[in-house]
Amino acid sequence: MIHSRIDLTSVRRVVIKIGSSLLADPEHGIRQDVIDRLVDELQTVMQDGKDIVIVTSGSVAIGRVRLDWLDRELSVHEKQAAAAIGQPQLMQAYAKAFARHGRVVAQMLLTKDDLRNRRRYLNASNTSETLFSVGVVPVVNENDTVVVSEIKFGDNDNLGALVSLVIDADLLVMLTDVEGLYDRNPDKHPDANRISEIYQLEEKHETMAGDAGSSFGTGGMASKLSAARVATRAGVAAAIISGKKEGALTRLLTGEDEGTLFFCGIDLQTRRKHWISELLKSAGEIHIDLGASTAVQEHGCSLLPVGVVAVDGVFDKGDCVEIIGPDGKIGRGLCNYTAEEIRKIMGKSSSEIETILGYRDFTSLIHRDNLVLSDILKPSEDHPGGQ
């Protein structure tokens, strides 16, 4: 795991997320010159024995330019059409750039539904392993032409964080058009300072990120922080660096003070918990009282029927449900009983389950190993050795 910048010299596998604002602009459309320059740097990284996966944005932006759909909001279907036009152009540009180094690229288009499905998740992982073994570069994007909002990753920063788990990466690098996270908006405040290292994401960082983003992509700094949170909780370090600055990636990977680096926290989630918190769709809600809420949140207990006050929705055993305390959502988890069964045993002690339902497979409704608490950002407080 990465504990200091110098550890970056020994990463094995890196996800490189490249934002739309770097890859396309209204005047040139696709920026082959930028792609060539970034690919030259990636080639050096690969020659150093590291595996890389590119998570690329840009298909919608390139399609927009191609169709001259520039000065207006696009409908969902127009964006999907633009993506269908831009994606092959994007792949061609990567293929051309890597061909100069004798390398082949492979396209992987994913949806959130693909990664929710365990078998497809493993297929994506096995495909990438096979591509690494033959020195081919996987280039991933969201399969924009088929997704609607419920099954969208949201933005490619989030996709990058999830891909870093699929391929078991050590590091997620987000290349963008600024040099990292600043304590104030650097466009408005010339004396703004770059935050070099973050050990624990806090509210103050979210405030610094604001909602600044380029009009050409969907991300912005807030979505990069959110991706960094997802990655670091699962044990993958994350970095935001400039994709405009020549050599920034090389400097980052040689341990120099480049961009903003996010270290993995101490409250690491297992891959299983990560799966529950980031990928599964919720099928219903279990409302619990204060006692149960304290037991779950503060003592790490499993959720028992006795603390349940209401159940919303129709769900089956094994489904993912949200847990709602008196003050709102406190977490989510995989349920051991159906919604109908919980309605019968709620408020009762676990010893009564068998009498009421006629069987008892589990004493808890949600075992603590299958329960993930909501991520609550810590209030600002300075950490030794970083921000």
Neighbours of 358 (CB within 10 A): 7
Judged by CB under 6 A, the residue of 57, 364, 370, 387 near ligand GLU is 57
d(CA 63, CA 23): 12
Q: For residue 59, state whether it binds ligand GLU (rule: CB under 6 A).
A: yes
The residue among 71 and 381 lying less far from ligand GLU, judged by its C-beta, is: 71
Strand pairing report for 320-325 and 285-288 = parallel
- Strands (E) in the chain, as ranges, are 13-18, 24-25, 29-30, 51-56, 105-110, 137-142, 171-176, 197-198, 237-242, 260-262, 285-288, 308-312, 320-325, 328-334, 371-373
d(CA 161, CA 155): 10
The residue among 81 and 276 lying less far from ligand GLU, judged by its C-beta, is: 81
Q: For residue 144, state whether it binds ligand GLU (rule: CB under 6 A).
A: yes
The residue among 5 and 64 lying less far from ligand GLU, judged by its C-beta, is: 64
Own/partner contacts of 71-80, CB < 8 Å, gap of 24 or more, are: 76/148, 76/149, 79/144, 80/144, 80/145, 80/146
Stretch that binds ligand GLU, among 56-64, 93-101, 282-290, 359-367 (CB under 6 A): 56-64
Judged by CB under 6 A, the residue of 16, 52, 83, 373 near ligand GLU is 83
Report in angstroms how near the CB of residue 221 gets to ligand GLU at its nearest: 13
Sign of torsion, CA 204 208 209 212? positive
For residue 216, give the 3-state DSSP assignment. Answer: coil
- The burial of 251, by beta-carbon neighbours within 10 Å (0-12 exposed, 13-18 middle, 19 or more buried), is given as middle
Report in angstroms how near the CB of residue 257 gets to ligand GLU at its nearest: 27
Stretch that binds ligand GLU, among 136-144, 176-184, 237-245, 294-302 (CB under 6 A): 136-144
Q: For residue 80, state whether it binds ligand GLU (rule: CB under 6 A).
A: no
The residue among 42 and 175 lying less far from ligand GLU, judged by its C-beta, is: 175
Q: For residue 302, state whether it binds ligand GLU (rule: CB under 6 A).
A: no
Q: For residue 141, state whether it binds ligand GLU (rule: CB under 6 A).
A: yes
Show contacts with ligand GLU in window 366-385 (CB under 6 A).
none
The residue among 15 and 61 lying less far from ligand GLU, judged by its C-beta, is: 61
Size of the site for ligand GLU (CB under 6 A): 15
- End-to-end, the C-alpha distance of the chain in Å comes to 19
Q: For residue 218, state whether it binds ligand GLU (rule: CB under 6 A).
A: yes
Sign of torsion, CA 21 26 32 36? negative
Q: For residue 155, state whether it binds ligand GLU (rule: CB under 6 A).
A: yes
Return phi, psi of residue 146, to 5°: -115, -5
The residue among 58 and 325 lying less far from ligand GLU, judged by its C-beta, is: 58
Report in angstroms how near the CB of residue 86 gets to ligand GLU at its nearest: 7
Q: For residue 143, state whether it binds ligand GLU (rule: CB under 6 A).
A: no
The residue among 60 and 353 lying less far from ligand GLU, judged by its C-beta, is: 60
Residue 360, both tokens: 């008892």
d(CA 332, CA 339): 15
Do 191 and 256 contact (CB within 8 A), yes or no? no
Q: Which of these, 4, 8, 83, lies nearest to 254 by C-alpha position?
A: 8
Stretch that binds ligand GLU, among 59-67, 107-115, 288-296, 349-357 (CB under 6 A): 59-67
Q: For residue 156, state whether it binds ligand GLU (rule: CB under 6 A).
A: yes
Give the binding site for ligand GLU (CB under 6 A): 20, 57-61, 83, 141-142, 144, 155-156, 217-219
